[in-house]
Amino acid sequence: MRAMAGCAASSDSETAMNILLAEDDPSISRHVTDAMTAAGYLVQCVHSGPEAWEAGAEEVHDAIILDLGLPGLDGLTILKRWRKDGIETPVIVLTARGSWMERVDGFDAGADDYLPKPFRTEELIARIKALLRRATPRKASGLSNGRLSFDEASMQASLDGKPLDLSPIEARAVQMFLQKAGTVVSATEIATHVQGRGEDGSANAVEAMIARLRKKIGPDAILTRRGFGYYIPEQAE
């Protein structure tokens, strides 16, 4: 997966909610990427029409944020081509022009939602969540290990059947630990999974997150293997 300057990317596409952001304004791109990464998403950024067309056609994403005013190839043309080729990824259209005729054109081209500029990132994220809820089929079962369980459809962790109040990053960490129950996971691997990147200083951030999780799910729920990482002991069902 390509990543442009100021954008986060990860090769961990099996469990991550991957969002393609096609926006040519560096300031908007950076702001949206930071907000969505903080909300627990992984974001791939492209800044031109041809890049957006290629990324949307050749790579798998859970949703796409598409600016209509991209250089080289406009967003409306890109969207029409995707839909003609059978690409049904949910798309939110962004535009600096908010006329009702342009909205109709966007929906007719295959847009799932429409957001005029300027916008608040909180509203954009709420719309992304709504799109993903409609597009993602609910799973009949989730992950479990002893007293801890995790519903991957809703990204909700529970302890003894009671929902836990976790941040998006903490929830992704619990998901990873349950997927790899009994296996030691390094701090870098954890940081890459929950944030989309492992950087210098990530070990301290992961250690702080583990401390918070232990307060919420129990002091012995996540164990430390000195010099190697962290793990949840595998328990019989």
6 part of a folded domain: no
Comparing C-alpha atoms, which of 135, 145, 212 is closest to residue 183? 145
For residues 41 and 19, the answer to whether their CB atoms sit within 8 Å is: yes
CA torsion through residues 155, 160, 165, 170, sign: negative
Predicted confidence at residue 67, as pLDDT, reads: 93
Structural domain of residue 83, as residue ranges?
A: 18-135
CATH classification of the domain holding 227: 1.10.10.10
Low-confidence stretches of the chain (pLDDT < 50) are: 1-6, 8-14, 138-140
Of 135, 157, 177, the one marking the end of a domain is 135
Count of domains observed in the chain? 2
Could you tell me if residue 92 is inside a domain? yes
- The C-alpha atoms of residue 160 and residue 103 are separated, in whole angstroms, by 47
Residue 68 maps to a domain: yes
Q: Are residues 36 and 131 in the same domain?
A: yes
Q: State the pLDDT at residue 106.
A: 77
223-225 and 162-163 as β-strands: parallel, antiparallel, unpaired? Answer: unpaired
Domain boundary, last residue among 135, 165, 196: 135
* Domain match, 87 and 42 both: yes
Domain identity same for 130 and 193: no
Task: Verify that 153 and 185 share a domain, yes or no.
Answer: yes
* Domain stop point among 118, 135, 152: 135
Does 131 lie in the same domain as 174?
no
- Return the exposure string of 201-212: e unless at least 16 CB atoms fall within 10 Å of the residue's CB, then b: ebbebbeebbee
